[in-house]
Amino acid sequence: MKPVPLNRKIRGKWINMAAKDISPSVETVTVKVDGRSVEVPRMMPNWEGTPEPTTVLQACKLAGIEIPHYCYHPKLPVVGNCRMCLVHVGMPGRPGPDGKSPENEDGTPKIFPMQLPYEPQTPRGVIGCATTIVPGMEIYASSPETKEMRESVLESLLINHPLDCSICDQAGECKLQEYSYDHGQAESEFEEFKVHKPKAVDLGPRITLDAERCILCTRCIRFTKDIVGDDSLGIVNRGGYNTISTFPGESFNNNYTLNTVDICPVGALTSDDFRFQMRVWFLKETKSICTDCGSGCNVMIGSRENKMYRYEPRQNDAVNGHWMCDSGRLNYKWIGREDRLSIIKDAKGKTSWPIALKDISDHLVNADKGSVAIVASARQTNEELHILSKLAKYLNAITDSIPRKGKADHLMMIEDRNTNTAGAQLVGITSKRVGSKLSIIKNGIESGKVKTLIVFGEDVTKHGIDTKLLKKVTLIVSDILPNETTKVADFLLPGCAHAEKRGTFTNVKGRVQKFMKALEPPGDALSEWEFLHELAYNVAGLGGFKTIEGLFNQMAGEVKAFKDAELTWAKLGDHGLDVEL
Amino acid sequence: MPSEYKLVLKHVDKTGYTNSISCYQKHGGYKTMKKVFKIKAKKTQEGINTPQEIIRKEVLVSGLRGRGGAGFSAGMKWSFVNRKSGKPIYLICNADESEPGTFKDRQIIYKDPHQLIEGMVISCYANDVNLAYIYIRGEFPEGAKILNKAIAEARKAGYLGKGICGTKFNLDIYVHRGAGAYICGEETGLIESLEGKRPYPRIKPPYFPAVLGLYMCPTIVNNVETLCNVRHVMEMGGEAYAALGTPGNTGTRIVSLSGQVKRPGYYEVEVGKATLGDLIFGKDFGQGLIEGRKLQAIIPGGSSSKVFREGESFKIKTKDKAGKDVEKKIDLLDIPYDFDTLMKCGSMSGSSAIIVIDDSVDIVEALGNLSDFYAHESCGQCTPCREGSLWMAKALKRMRSGQARKADADYLKHIAHNIQGRTICAFGEACAWPVLSFVDKFRDKFEERGAADEARSAKQENKGEVD
């Protein structure tokens, strides 16, 4: 099957395929869940977004009851092989010759709990993930019979499962652990020898498989085949010796392999990057955005005591669904690099913020109009770029960003490797052709017209403005890692990685999303918007806000696209909002 | 005392009968097919019945039930096919005869393949099928060769291909060899295997073969013997076929009798006219047990069916001559060998394979042998069967090596109860029922063994060897 793209351009407009709009379906079905009547839509989106008859599992979710499951995933095709979602149901009777179903004395339809046809005293369960509801159905999601079915499935899973909890990465976020705690037996009856399978299989460059822990839910196979379109995982051997494997000799190596680690309910598929690094219950979880490209995939930062341990994708059906690419996921180590800029410097050496900011402000106040140029990275936040843009207008400064392009893949990674090109364009830092004004800036420096250059987050020596030219001007640089530009800066202001501040980005489709702070910046480093705020106030008298929320709301009133969409910081929520580009 | 009623096996095993088309035609082969092609549409009160509908009605009236193991009415199965989807309809002949104890289909395939082909042509014509497959188990390489030769002969004679016998009906049959997996006999497992994938059965709902089968098109899967019987239904007419056998259990069946009888073999009888006793002891059939042995157990319908212990009797509900419901007591050997009575007695006729076990057999060993088979053949897709079948095999292996416990009887039952009714396909029942029934009917043997092993190991411990 061809992979299903999450977003497709239809007639010039991006349509989110993960949650297709269903025309308001007034058709509802009434079922009873644990004795409570609930009305649920008759059709609901399936894993591809197409409306399909609602299943027992979806109905129970709407009623607030979670039916335990392993192999079911809302964004993967249903296979029904783990049998954990077995639930005892009662069905209305078959219509008699008069066309009517049997009724109780009070006229309500008589409900018959399902029994095994060959052993009528034994209740029969149906799998909730694949059984569609019928009007009048009674779902006994918490009855002793259903609990017995869950216990028996858990028992079956645990008999061959290795007792690895103490060394397994998944402990703390393991569904087998959780359901065993809720539904399992305290003592095992198993008297035989467990099945042994390969323990630390190098499945691919980023994945290690522990085949013994695998419960064969096949989520990884379905994800890799149906979402990514790479048919590289399968099962070998028979029966109880079933093992997940790649084709012998092949490697599990596409740009989405680490998503299988997320969806694996147990610790079978592990990330080589995160293996044995940190216990998940120690991790602080912070909602953030990936900065590897302009897609703006929603992530969750896992950090502890100011060290970042991992990214995990965060569900946002309008942007990235449940997934993120491997290159983005592993691109966080630069945040913790030893050579992070952490000392504020001026031409003479180490200085302090009050002194540096005063000197810079004085310099800019006295600068001739039109003698300042600003190169602001399209990886800065909306707020920072907005203040810079306003400052630039006041100073009649030329502004631009640096374009960054890479190879796109067929799913999430796009060509534009700048996180916030759209934001830079909307606030006026750069135009549709990013980087088109760099040559003007360069000529300006050469001719002597430009006497001050402000650079935020870029190494301009790689884009035409070499060190010789930089030495001609007063160079004010803010960055996070050292490069050739920072080496010759007259003022070096250490900035923050996105994980160390709060702010918003606008992705290439116009989605404005906010991200939160997970770590403290090193040394002297400050959030860029904080010192820009002071500069802008000193130089141009711009102010009117005290916090990031206030800054965002002010910006939202000043930038046309944000204003039209009536954005506020609070309204952005966890999933962001769209603006017209 | 009833004797064989040879219908499908009428000419097979006669001296000089070969599997070539000339021999088949000399004995009246393909005449029924030609007769079927001449059936004309009939006008009735409700509208016009097409020839296809007439044939399907005939099969429904005949009461023909599937001969593969489930005993589901063939006419009803054909009626479930979704004919309005616009997708092509496929027919698959399930020649993956793997149920232990069953060896009837191979007789037809090896000795009379043209009967199968004729049955398939008629069935395909009745269901507007233009592409049919015979899925033959990998362990029958000679059978596949024979079938391919027969198909080539049939094509040469104009009985396959485009415009068969001057009609507008096209049909191609291909033989697809399996690779040695019992689960490929499960209809959706077969379809998956035919599509080139691992034979993991599909969940039903929604993947009923009649709606979403091979390549997600409506598909009919029928057993070899069932398709051969279709030819006989059309030859003698549905009502005449229904007159054979007993009501609700019409026609004839080929019984595979094996185990410790004097004359194991395959015998065709009218359904329900011969009793278990007739088949095991009758002079035309098994001719009784080996000298000096006594009956211990009977597995009536292939190894997946529940076992009977000798001396058992049952109380079943039946109808007397006036049609009133009565309760009748029936002894084991008096059970008529049909679909319904065996089910009422708590087992099933399955693939009509009777395995006779005499008193020289260790019951625990026998059950261990069976459970090893099921553990090996489980496909491993769903949790209860994958883990449970191997668990039971391991438990029985332990019991057979002198480490049984008295509690093992209940232990085995607990595992088996965890499996049945909770799996994707009927393999769950197939591996659980032998264990449940053996432990139920022969509990004394299991407990005896457990007690003996526990006593022996206690004695060894008490001897107290100090290193």
pLDDT tens string B141-175 = 999 999 999 999 999 999 999 999 999 999 999 99
Give pLDDT tens digits for A509-551.
999 999 999 999 999 999 999 999 999 999 999 999 999 999 9
Q: Do B381 and A81 touch (CB under 8 A)?
A: yes
B388 interaction partners in chain A (CB closer than 8 Å)? 156
Helix (H), strand (E) at residue B37? helix B31-37
Q: Do A237 and B206 touch (CB under 8 A)?
A: no
Residues 6+ apart with CB under 8 A from A411: A3, A5, A6, A227, A228, A255, A256, A323, A325
State mean pLDDT over A95-112: 85
Q: Where does the pLDDT of residue A560 fall: very low under 50, low under 70, confident under 90, or very high at 90 and above? A: very high
pLDDT higher than threshold 50 for residue A156: yes
Q: How many CB atoms lie within 10 A of CB B39?
A: 17
A81 interaction partners in chain B (CB closer than 8 Å)? 200, 381-383, 424
Mean pLDDT of chain A: 92
Q: State which residue of chain A sits closest to B429, comparing Cα positions.
A: A118
pLDDT for the residue A549: 95
B203 interaction partners in chain A (CB closer than 8 Å)? 78-80, 127, 130
Q: Do A240 and B383 touch (CB under 8 A)?
A: no
Q: State which residue of chain B sits closest to A127, comparing Cα positions.
A: B422
Helix (H), strand (E) at residue B308? strand B308-309
Nearest neighbour of B418 by CB, restricted to A124, A156, A241: A156
Q: In what order do the strands lie in the sheet with A491-494?
A: A349-350, A345-346, A491-494, A474-479, A452-456, A372-376, A398-400
Could you tell me how many CB contacts below 8 A there are between chain A and chain B? Answer: 106
Nearest neighbour of A216 by CB, restricted to B206, B380, B424: B380
Task: Tell me the shortest Cα–Cα distance from B56 to chain A, in angstroms.
Answer: 24
B384 interaction partners in chain A (CB closer than 8 Å)? 83, 152-153, 156
The C-alpha angle with vertex B341 and arms to B336 and B342, in degrees rounded to 5, equals: 90
A190 interaction partners in chain B (CB closer than 8 Å)? 391
pLDDT for the residue B126: 96
pLDDT higher than threshold 60 for residue A19: no
| Separation in Å, CA B285 to CA B268, B280, B304, B312 | 10, 6, 23, 22
Q: Where are the alpha helices (DSSP H) in B276-320?
A: 276-281
Give pLDDT tens digits for A228-251.
999 999 999 999 999 999 999 999
Nearest neighbour of B383 by CB, restricted to A124, A131, A156: A156
pLDDT for the residue A23: 46
Q: Do B380 and A237 touch (CB under 8 A)?
A: yes
3 state DSSP class of B54: helix
Q: Do B420 and A116 touch (CB under 8 A)?
A: yes
Q: Do B203 and A79 touch (CB under 8 A)?
A: yes
A159 interaction partners in chain B (CB closer than 8 Å)? 387, 391
pLDDT higher than threshold 60 for residue A352: yes
Counting residues of chain B whose pLDDT is more than 90, the rounded percentage is 92
Task: Tell me the shortest Cα–Cα distance from A253 to chain B, in angstroms.
Answer: 22
Q: Where does the pLDDT of residue A17 fall: very low under 50, low under 70, confident under 90, or very high at 90 and above? A: very low
B381 interaction partners in chain A (CB closer than 8 Å)? 81, 216
pLDDT for the residue A18: 40
Q: Do A82 and B383 touch (CB under 8 A)?
A: yes
If you search the block for the tokens 């830092």, which residue do you land on? A429
Residues 6+ apart with CB under 8 A from A84: A68, A69, A70, A71, A150, A153, A154, A179, B383
Task: Tell me the shortest Cα–Cα distance from B224 to chain A, in angstroms.
Answer: 26
Q: State which residue of chain B sits closest to A78, comparing Cα positions.
A: B203
If you search the block for the tokens 């095994």, which residue do you land on? A116
Interface of B with A (CB under 8 A): 181, 198, 200, 203, 205-206, 375-384, 386-391, 394-395, 398, 405, 411, 414, 417-418, 420-424, 429
pLDDT for the residue B172: 97
Give pLDDT tens digits for B235-294.
999 999 999 999 999 999 999 999 999 999 999 999 999 999 999 999 999 999 999 999
Task: Tell me the shortest Cα–Cα distance from B181 to chain A, in angstroms.
Answer: 10
pLDDT for the residue A353: 96
Contact predicate A67/A89, CB 8 Å: no
DSSP letter assigned to residue B132 = E
If you search the block for the tokens 């507007």, which residue do you land on? B128
Task: Tell me the shortest Cα–Cα distance from A80 to chain B, in angstroms.
Answer: 7
Q: How many CB atoms lie within 10 A of CB B171?
A: 21
Interface of A with B (CB under 8 A): 78-84, 86, 116, 118-119, 122, 124-125, 127, 130-132, 149, 152-153, 155-157, 159-160, 189-193, 195, 215-216, 234-235, 237-242
pLDDT for the residue B123: 97
pLDDT for the residue A187: 86
ipTM score over 0.90, yes or no: yes
Contact predicate A78/A130, CB 8 Å: yes
Among A191, A197, A222, the residue to mutate for chain B (most B Cβ within 10 A): A191
Q: State which residue of chain A sits closest to B424, comparing Cα positions.
A: A81
Residue with the bigger pLDDT between B463 and A309: it is A309
pLDDT for the residue A184: 82
State the burial class of residue A84 (Cβ atoms within 10 Å of its Cβ: 0-12, 13-18, 19+).
buried
The percent helix, strand, coil of chain B (3-state, each to 5) is 45, 20, 40
Q: Pull the structure tokens for residue B350.
A: 């399955």
B377 interaction partners in chain A (CB closer than 8 Å)? 238-239
B181 interaction partners in chain A (CB closer than 8 Å)? 238
Q: Where does the pLDDT of residue B376 fall: very low under 50, low under 70, confident under 90, or very high at 90 and above? A: very high
State the burial class of residue A432 (Cβ atoms within 10 Å of its Cβ: 0-12, 13-18, 19+).
exposed
Counting residues of chain A whose pLDDT is more than 70, the rounded percentage is 96
Task: Tell me the shortest Cα–Cα distance from A39 to chain B, in angstroms.
Answer: 23
A241 interaction partners in chain B (CB closer than 8 Å)? 380
**Helices (H), strands (E): how many in chain B?**
17, 15
pLDDT for the residue A13: 56
pLDDT for the residue A138: 95
Measured CA to CA, the distance from residue B349 to residue B343 in angstroms comes to 7
Nearest neighbour of B391 by CB, restricted to A125, A149, A159: A159
pLDDT for the residue A99: 80
Q: State which residue of chain A sits closest to B420, comparing Cα positions.
A: A116
Helix (H), strand (E) at residue B370? helix B363-377
Q: Do A216 and B421 touch (CB under 8 A)?
A: no
pLDDT for the residue B39: 93
B387 interaction partners in chain A (CB closer than 8 Å)? 156-157, 159-160, 240
pLDDT higher than threshold 90 for residue A428: yes
Q: State which residue of chain A sits closest to B392, comparing Cα positions.
A: A192
Q: Do A116 and B418 touch (CB under 8 A)?
A: no
Residue A346, φ and ψ in degrees, nearest 5: -120, -170
Q: Where does the pLDDT of residue A22 fall: very low under 50, low under 70, confident under 90, or very high at 90 and above? A: very low
pLDDT higher than threshold 60 for residue A12: no
Mean pLDDT of chain B: 94
State mean pLDDT over B205-222: 95
Q: State which residue of chain A sits closest to B198, comparing Cα positions.
A: A235
Measured CA to CA, the distance from residue A123 to residue A88 in angstroms comes to 7
Q: Where does the pLDDT of residue A100 fall: very low under 50, low under 70, confident under 90, or very high at 90 and above? A: confident
Q: Do A80 and B388 touch (CB under 8 A)?
A: no
Q: Where does the pLDDT of residue A2 fall: very low under 50, low under 70, confident under 90, or very high at 90 and above? A: very low
DSSP letter assigned to residue B428 = H
Contact predicate A304/A278, CB 8 Å: yes
Nearest neighbour of B380 by CB, restricted to A80, A152, A239: A239
pLDDT for the residue A186: 82
Q: Do A239 and B420 touch (CB under 8 A)?
A: no
pLDDT for the residue A310: 96
Q: State which residue of chain A sits closest to B405, comparing Cα positions.
A: A191
Q: Is the dihedral of CA B102, B108, B109, B111 positive or negative?
A: positive
